[in-house]
Structure 1
Amino acid sequence: MSGAAAAAGSPALAEHDHLLRTRGVEHALDGFVSGCAFSRDGRTVCFATAEGRIALAASDGGAWREIEAHDGSILSLAPDAGPSGFVSGGDDTVLNRIDAEGGVAPIAKGRRWIEHVASFPGKPGSGAGGLIASAAGKQVELRDAAGTLVKTLEHPSTVSGLCFDAKGKRIAVSHYGGASLWFTASKSDTPRRLEWKGSHIGVVLHPEGEALVTAMQENELHGWRLSDGHNMRMSGYPSKCQSMAFSRNGRWLATGGAEAIVLWPFFGGGPMGKAPTELAGVPDAVAVRVAFHPQHDIVAAGFSDGTVLMSDVGTKRVLPVCGAGRGAVSALSFDASGTRLAFGTESGAVAVVDLSAKS
């Protein structure tokens, strides 16, 4: 995974900040930005900090509100299962619900840090409720949309990542020695264990349920083909991969961990025996956050020098969002429609960029 390919695809330095200047709204927070998310209705954006504060704004550029949400660092943030609001977990051992106006209500308080949260939306008019998952230590607690505990899922070691599948029927959990795949509605609560030696530090599920992939401490990825459990190894990274995202149709897996955005093909028998594709990148910086557009084959990436850019998978054209200088990117997210992109940095810079078509 070469820095030369990344440098060749880099946009002109003079144009780096154009999109942020002309279509973005910036704000400065006090401290490391530990997460960002849009509400499911797309109306509100939320940023969390390591100082326990959240910042909320209307996603179309309304006034910013900052609220003390946790007594300590916020370790995890996700949209709520409902159309508005968010859920957050912190090192104060509290799982909170945050509404669009900034109201904070505790859902649960435990004894360990809540390091990971995820949610799945209910289906309007169908009677099917949403789900909220939170991880503390070796346990994942699964709750309904109201916050009532449904079940507790036990793992052999500390949970390092979790995510729901596209239908909310399964939840994937990474931990030391592999991953566990649970059916959310099962009464037996017996997971499918996917084993591979080593420290697994994050997890994603293929949108069609074809594969599960984890990032590893050893600067590589490991995957399992779920139809038969076949192992898949994706290596060659110069640094640890901190972020992964599948494209909407599951053809590509975008990852950080290199100077370029690295894409693994999940079609035509891949990724086994297939070389990855490298999109644009930044010389002497590492992609630390990636996010796939929810409707198009476009990847957004945030780098260790603060650069944010987007790249089209098919044409490899690059659209710079902003240049270096705001701190390493630590959070990155599209809204559900793909018309807005939010990012935050380790230095407390946050921004929302309007990507909608203009008449």
Structure 2
Amino acid sequence: MSGATAAPGYALERRGTTRDLGDYVVGAGFAAGTPAFALADGSLHLATGEAWPRVEAHDGGLLAFASAGRFFVTGGEDGRLARVTPEGEATELARLGRGWVEHVATHADDRGRVVVAAGMGKAVHVVDGEGRALKTLEHPSSVGGVCFDARGKRIAVAHYNGASLWFVAAKTDSPRRLEWKGSHIGIALSPDGDCVVTAMQENALHGWRLSEDAHMRMSGYPSKTRSMSFTRNGKWLATSGAESVVLWPFFGGGPTGKAPTELAGGDNVLCTQVAAHTQTDMVAAGFSDGMVVLADIGSSRILPVAPPGRRPVSALAWSADGARLVFGTEDGFAAVVDFGRRD
């Protein structure tokens, strides 16, 4: 990270608000403009006022977190989906049975209608924003990751030996199977919905370009990729799992036959989280030493956001307008950085 530390000062010092929440930060994000941090102990902390109110979401561990536009959704070891509002009201969204809800994805449309997909064991349970069951999607093995496409029309699910694509509104559920041998532990869809990318147990990525029925292989990682994020226009896929932010080009025929761009690397410190900016071609990245940077893809300029000296960054997210960044670490450090505020 030597390139990032060259600039004087950190944005966190000038523009940040921080708290020590005392437990592993599973996820962070915004709902109706309110930042929140989900902790492994089953609680959600709303970053409002001085107190940062604590909301009890689960009886036991909290495993998954997502923002649904107007509220937050969490999944836990108690087999429940919880709904938490920005005002701090927690209710049971759905009780899915005996098992752990390990994956949650959401989509909210322009009218505020919400669809939630929750991975438990080999199944993905789909419910609406009021918790009404829409369908259950069965898979050949345990679910490794879940996401929606940009329009909320399809659900992509990673599992052993590939991935499955489902239409949310289909009357008869018959998925498109995307096959590739191995264990697939995460998934992302390009903004145009044409490219599906999975992270693999073997320290590599695999992709499918749907319009061409073509495979894409992205390898060379020293560690597993736990975080992936497409830029706003889908030109780049930012990924963790290396000693830099690895960006694969999804233009000009890439990533097949193209070398990735690497930013903010050095010092043998792994990148653990990435989050593409919502409005520009920039990406925020968190590292295993607690450092957070903001990288401009076009110029390769690096803005230091938070210094090293903590546990690995475990959560990272932008507000919808791209003005604020939230991040959390494995030891419970949580921060909101306001880039829209004038010093």
TM-score range relative to shorter protein: over 0.9
Aligned to 2:331: 347
Tell me how far apart the structure 2 counterparts of residues 194 and 331 of structure 1 sit (CA, whole Å).
29
SS of the residue corresponding to residue 67 of structure 1 reads strand
- Corresponding position of 2:14: 22
What amino acid is the match of 1:103?
Answer: E
Distance, in Å, in 2 between the alignment partners of 1:272 and 1:190 is 29
Secondary structure of the 1:198 match is: strand
2:91 corresponds in structure 1 to 105
Deviation per residue, 1:295-354 (Å, 9 max, x gap): 100010000000000000000000000111121100000011100000000010000000
Q: Partner of 2:59 in structure 1?
A: 71
Shift of 1:260: 0.8
1:1-359 → structure 2 map (5 Å cutoff): 7=2, 9-12=3-6, 15=9, 18-39=10-31, 41-42=32-33, 44-58=34-48, 63-80=51-68, 83-109=69-95, 110-124=97-111, 129-356=113-340, 358=342
Letter of the 1:102 partner, please give it: G
Q: Percent identity?
A: 55
Change (3 A) 1:188 1:352: same
Q: CA separation in 2, counterparts of 1:13 and 1:248?
A: 27
Scaled by the length of structure 1, what TM-score is found? 0.92
8 Å contact from structure 1 (residues 298, 310) kept in 2: yes
1:284 shift after superposition: 1.8
Tell me which amino acid in the other structure corresponds to 1:296.
Answer: T
When the two chains are superposed, the root-mean-square deviation of aligned CA atoms in Å is 1.4
Instruction: Tell me if the contact between 2:199 and 2:226 (Cα under 8 Å) persists in the aligned partners.
Output: yes
Please give the TM-score of this superposition, normalised by the length of structure 2: 0.96
Q: Secondary structure at the match of 2:283?
A: strand
Letter aligned with residue 102 of structure 2: E
Shift of 1:205: 0.1
Cα pair 1:10 1:282 within 8 Å, conserved: no
Q: 1:282, 1:303 within 8 Å by CA — same for their partners in 2?
A: no
Give the letter for the 1:340 counterpart.
Answer: R
Q: Write the distance in 1 (CA, Å) between the matches of 2:80 and 2:173.
A: 25
Of 334-343 and 98-107, more deviation after overlay is shown by: 98-107
- The superposition leaves residues 245-272 of structure 1 with CA deviations (integer Å, 9 ceiling, x where unpaired) of 0000000000011111000000000000
Give 3-state SS (helix, strand or coil) of 2:258's partner: coil
Note the C-alpha offset of 1:357.
Answer: 5.5
Query: Contact 2:7 / 2:304 at 8 angstroms: preserved in 1?
Result: no
- Given that 1:76 and 1:90 are in contact with CA atoms closer than 8 Å, whether structure 2 keeps it comes out as yes
Runs of 4 or more consecutive aligned structure 1 residues displaced over 6 Å after TM superposition: none
Q: Distance in 2 between matches of 1:311 and 1:200?
A: 28
CA contact (8 A) 2:7 2:303 kept: no
Aligned partners of 2:199 and 2:225 also within 8 Å: yes
Q: Is the 8 A contact 1:260 1:287 kept in 2?
A: yes
CA offset digits 1:163-205 (Å, max 9, x no partner)? 1000111110001110000111111100000000001000000
Contact 2:238/2:248, CA 8 A, preserved across alignment: yes
* Residues 239 and 258, structure 1, Cα contact 8 Å, conserved in 2: yes
Name the aligned partner's letter for residue 290 of structure 1: V
Tell which deviates more after alignment, 213-222 or 225-234.
Answer: 225-234
How far 1:10 sits from its partner (Å)? Answer: 3.1
Per-residue deviation, 1:62: 5.5
Q: Which amino acid aligns with 2:6?
A: A
How many positions carry a matched residue from both structures? 342
- Partner amino acid, structure 1, of 2:47: A
Mapped to 1, the partners of 2:259 and 2:237 lie a distance apart of 12
The whole-number CA distance in structure 2 between the counterparts of 1:96 and 1:357 is 32
Q: Larger deviation: 328-337 or 280-289?
A: 280-289
Kept after mapping to 2: 8 A contact 1:13/1:323? no
3-state SS, counterpart of residue 12 of structure 2:
helix
Q: Secondary structure at the match of 1:196?
A: strand
1:329 maps to a residue whose letter is: V
Higher mean displacement: 91-100 or 296-305: 91-100
CA distance in 1, matches of 2:215, 2:250: 14
Q: What is aligned with 1:3?
A: none
Q: Which amino acid aligns with 2:53?
A: R
Q: SS in structure 2 opposite 1:51?
A: coil
- Write the distance in 2 (CA, Å) between the matches of 1:51 and 1:213: 31
